[in-house]
Structure 1
Amino acid sequence: MTRTGARISRRGIAVAAAGGAMTAVLGAGGAVGATGGARRREFRGMWIATVVNVDWPSAPGLSAERQRAELTALLDAAVRRRLNVVMLQIRPTADAFWPSRFEPWSEYLTGTQGRDPGWDPLAFAVREAHRRELQLHGWFNPYRVANHTDPGRLVPTHPARVHPDWAVPYGGKLYYNPGLPEVRRFVQDAMLDAVLRYDLDGVHFDDYFYPYPVEGQRFDDDAAYERHGAGFPDRAAWRRHNIDLLVRETGQRIERYKPEVRFGISPFAVWRNRSTDRRGSNTRAGVQTYDDLGADTRRWVREGWIDYIVPQVYWHIGNAAADYGELVRWWARTVHGTDVRLYIGEALYRAGDPQQPAPWQDPAELSRHLTLARGVPEVSGHAFFSAKQVAGDPIGAMARVVRDHYRGRARPPR
């Protein structure tokens, strides 16, 4: 039985216990569609990015009081926009936004890696999100160690310094090597530390597995491949196997320890172009997760190793290389017949950006995305990147989404 299928009855118990307060707000229904249709459950998510202080905290080294105030302001913005799920990045670069037993405090809190901020941001985030009837999913980056390549800049006790053979410099950054079984187990342990100790509603991975290709550079995993790559037709197949194991084993361990916690991934949206694989999407993307990132995202869905998938469909409707509608329909076909929920990742950050094509200058573009997706039964919601734009909404694109599609609050899917 797939992981998701095994959890249906357990989920029903968890949702019944957690849904009472929201029922008081919503009655028996959920969200109202743009056309005023029947109420239903719907995933309405928001990413809060902490890496290099994208969303929160706004800068390293702020007082604990200021950090708490900024976080609650973002959570209040989610409520104001009638969202119901927050994906908070709590392990951006092999570090932690909680007192981890495995990795140091994040430099994005205090400005100095390993320095105790004097409070527990994750405990506060969970408590404040739940007070607002928001789910909180812990967002983890499995393999990125640092946004530089100098291990000497890491704290002396950092695992990448204690085990220098674990780390690979590439493209100006430092990564844990996914080809080492001991690394795979360690990053699972480091992430699950938060799952076991806090009342998280979900575990969320983003799109970084093997790193995105950098022209003229190679990811040096020769020694690991020589040691562990026997029996695979080529290095690419071995790399996909390594990431498959990470995803499958993480799901199994969440299932074992906390079956009520959802496991989801938000990959780059193109698995493979149809010109590469007849099963792929009718796109001409320059990156294909299967080939370039070692991420067989289609398999994870078809095998039921995850509970939900949020492909980052960060292109406008009609984009010549990667059309929004084409990718939404491709992912709908991919999840069809599985227990994996499909939510669409939306590029709110592009709305109004003068560097983006003309469709993104129209405040109605994102609303048209949701209108299109409502005609695809497999789509159960959307997530918006990122929190800063949800709150600030520079050209009113988010307000248009709320007005057209989110007329009332909604509970997330079971």
Structure 2
Amino acid sequence: MGRTGLGTLWGVPRVPARALALGLALAAALGGVGSGLLRAATAEPPSAPPPVRTAAGGSCAGVPVAAPRQLRGMWLTTVNNIDFPSRPGLSEARVKAEYRAWLDLAVAQRHNAVFVHVRPSGDAFWPSAYAPWSQWLTGRRDGRGPGWDPMAFMVAEAHARNLQFHAWFNPYRGSQPAPAGTGADLAKLPATHPLRKHPDWALAYPTGPTGRLYFDPGNPDARRFVEDSMLEAVGKYDVDGVHFDDFFYPYPERGQDFPDDASYERRARPGQSRADWRRENVDTLVREMSERIRALKPWVQFGISPFGIWRNAATDRAGSDTRGLQSYDEIYADTRRWVRERWLDYVVPQLYWAIGFDRADYAKVLPWWAKLVEGTGVRLYIGIADYRVGEKGPWRDPAQLDRQLTLAARHRVDGSVHFSAKQVRANRLGAVTRYRDHHFAAPALPPVASRLAAAGPAAPQLSAARPAGSGAVRLDWRPGTGASPAAWALYRVTGGRAVLAATGSPGVPVTDPAPPPAPVTYCLTALDRAGNEGPPSNPAGI
């Protein structure tokens, strides 16, 4: 998500999230932040986390069943090969093996979604009529493909594990800084790159070695092309979500303004300020993408992960109790409007600050976002900074993220997404294991987008439950009448209590991997493409 130096410029670290592969520089830039952080007394977790929201259910052998509904995901970053692939130019077999390993990690962490970077910089991880192949995959800058379709593979493999696949796009970025990328030089882009064909769409920012190219957000033709390029993937592949982070207009460089003078003079309305014009351009992209996704595939969710501060209360009484960079004013992202207009199905603010940080206290910013989504139907997930574990100050406490998730549960947040996959795997200080065991101890179903709530599929029919080896139990079943289900959920009843034992896709055998030794009764439910759950099946015991 951003650059490294904004902590000193804006008084609160923008901390890099999807950032460039400047992880080491980032750690150095943020090294002094921790000394000013204080642990909030209210942050101590209770003995068990508050319950997450549950979906309405029926009963199994007279015992009510209701699955936890909580999104659990991680970002899988491809730009600069931060997470995946481990380096450019790997063989098809190696790329596939690495991706499967990331999905296995997600399953082991009891996640139910992955957010995969498929358009990092005007490029593509699929055969596209609109963009050249990504150099982070192919290892080449000539736009030539790898000879296979990674996107089709990645979506299918995620669904085989019953993981949602959210395709993560950066809309306006056209290149990455040199030397890893092509920089701001049009001539270095692949011949097939759209900015080579339409140089009038291209804007270079900032000047110097960190410069990159952008599609002009103020040019309607460029905006429509960017939308078309992303919707191409939605149309071709069975994605569950379209996901943006916070890269619209670039984060500002001191002493430099984004060079859109000509576009502003040509297209702004009389009397319209440049800031309002830029915000309108971003609003238009968000609104049009929302409308076009819903028209193309109504079940595909649209979500954005914005910078965690909309505006500070000192600037706007409606803002948060913070003193940091304001996305409304500095990058022209009116995140509050996107939620209030219900253009989004979910929002994932990047709350990458510790509890007690004086300029942007997680414990104060979180309630602002929870209040914002009330009554809108927009789901609130929190972007969690796994990558900061081990930094100075409170980030050396392995319980920091655990406490953050406890506060999120208290505010009835619908889930969390973790930056990034590599940090989840690293499990520094045991922090990941700690919050997983505290908050993700059992499976959960992803929340249903509010606009897609409906009756689920008909009840399946269970015919038998039998031992399957290694202590597992296998259940034979067939779907109910009507449309084929997109997924199943298995409930286990023991001692008068029902729990969600396992979930899966229709092609995966219905299995309870770890049943207790006591007699067990099972019921099965079916879910539709949007995640709506139908009534339980007949019970089957073993």
Q: TM-score, normalised by structure 1?
A: 0.89
Cα distance in structure 2, aligned partners of 1:150 and 1:58: 26
**Any idea what the Cα deviations from partners look like across 1:291-332, whole Å, max 9, x if unmatched?**
011110000000001100000000010011100011110001
Shift of 1:47: 0.4
- Report the equivalent of 1:21: none
Q: Spell out the pairing of 1:232-271 with structure 2 (5 A cutoff).
A: 232-271=271-310
Residue identity opposite 2:156 in structure 1 = R
- Report the equivalent of 1:411: 445
Shift of 1:386: 0.3
- Report the equivalent of 2:360: 322
Shift of 1:35: 5.2
- Report the equivalent of 1:295: 333
**Any idea what the Cα deviations from partners look like across 1:222-281, whole Å, max 9, x if unmatched?**
111111102453000000000000000000000101000000000001000111111000
Cα distance in structure 2, aligned partners of 1:402 and 1:181: 45
Cα distance in structure 2, aligned partners of 1:36 and 1:103: 44
Cα distance in structure 2, aligned partners of 1:99 and 1:71: 18
Residue identity opposite 1:205 in structure 2 = F
Q: Tell me which moved more, 35-44 or 252-261.
A: 35-44
Shift of 1:383: 0.5
- Report the equivalent of 2:347: 309
SS at match of 2:320: coil
- Report the equivalent of 1:132: 161
1:184 paired with 2:199, answer no
Cα distance in structure 2, aligned partners of 1:84 and 1:231: 49
Cα distance in structure 2, aligned partners of 1:321 and 1:36: 30
Residue identity opposite 1:124 in structure 2 = F
Alignment check: 8 A CA contact 1:34 1:406 kept? no
Cα distance in structure 2, aligned partners of 1:36 and 1:229: 49
- Report the equivalent of 2:201: 166
Cα distance in structure 2, aligned partners of 1:307 and 1:36: 22
1:59 paired with 2:74, answer no
1:96 paired with 2:135, answer no
Unaligned runs of 5+ in 1: 1-32
SS at match of 2:366: helix
Unaligned runs of 5+ in 2: 1-47, 55-66, 177-182, 449-542
Cα distance in structure 2, aligned partners of 1:344 and 1:231: 39
Residue identity opposite 2:382 in structure 1 = I
Counterpart among 367, 381, 402 of residue 367 in structure 1: 402
Q: Tell me which moved more, 223-232 or 75-84.
A: 223-232
**Any idea what the Cα deviations from partners look like across 1:172-219, whole Å, max 9, x if unmatched?**
111111000001100000000000000000000011010001112111
- Report the equivalent of 1:398: 432
Cα distance in structure 2, aligned partners of 1:283 and 1:387: 28
**Any idea what the Cα deviations from partners look like across 1:349-372, whole Å, max 9, x if unmatched?**
1112xxx33111111110000111
Counterpart among 242, 252, 269 of residue 203 in structure 1: 242
1:80 paired with 2:89, answer no
Residue identity (%): 56
Shift of 1:36: 6.7
Cα distance in structure 2, aligned partners of 1:136 and 1:36: 25
1:116 paired with 2:145, answer yes
Cα distance in structure 1, aligned partners of 2:135 and 2:171: 17
Shift of 1:122: 0.7
- What root-mean-square deviation, in Å, do the aligned CA atoms of Structure 1 and Structure 2 show? 1.2
1:105 paired with 2:133, answer yes
Alignment check: 8 A CA contact 2:72 2:416 kept? yes
Residue identity opposite 1:91 in structure 2 = R
SS at match of 1:146: coil
Cα distance in structure 2, aligned partners of 1:256 and 1:80: 35
Residue identity opposite 1:133 in structure 2 = N
Cα distance in structure 2, aligned partners of 1:204 and 1:298: 17
SS at match of 1:396: helix
Number of aligned pairs?
A: 377
Counterpart among 68, 74, 80 of residue 96 in structure 2: 68
Cα distance in structure 2, aligned partners of 1:272 and 1:35: 30
- Report the equivalent of 2:523: none
Shift of 1:157: 1.9
Cα distance in structure 1, aligned partners of 2:407 and 2:50: 12
Please state which structure has a larger fraction of its residues in strand.
Answer: 2
Residue identity opposite 1:370 in structure 2 = L
Cα distance in structure 2, aligned partners of 1:335 and 1:394: 32
SS at match of 2:146: coil
Shift of 1:62: 1.0
Shift of 1:333: 1.0
- Change in Cα spacing, 1:381 to 1:36, as seen in structure 2 (3 Å) is closer
Larger Rg: 2
- Report the equivalent of 2:493: none
Higher relative contact order (CA 8 A, sep 6+): 1
Alignment check: 8 A CA contact 2:50 2:410 kept? no
Q: After TM superposition, which residue ranges in structure 1, 4 or more long, deviate above 4 angstroms?
A: 35-39
SS at match of 1:269: coil
Counterpart among 154, 162, 167 of residue 189 in structure 2: 154
Cα distance in structure 1, aligned partners of 2:125 and 2:244: 16
SS at match of 2:278: helix
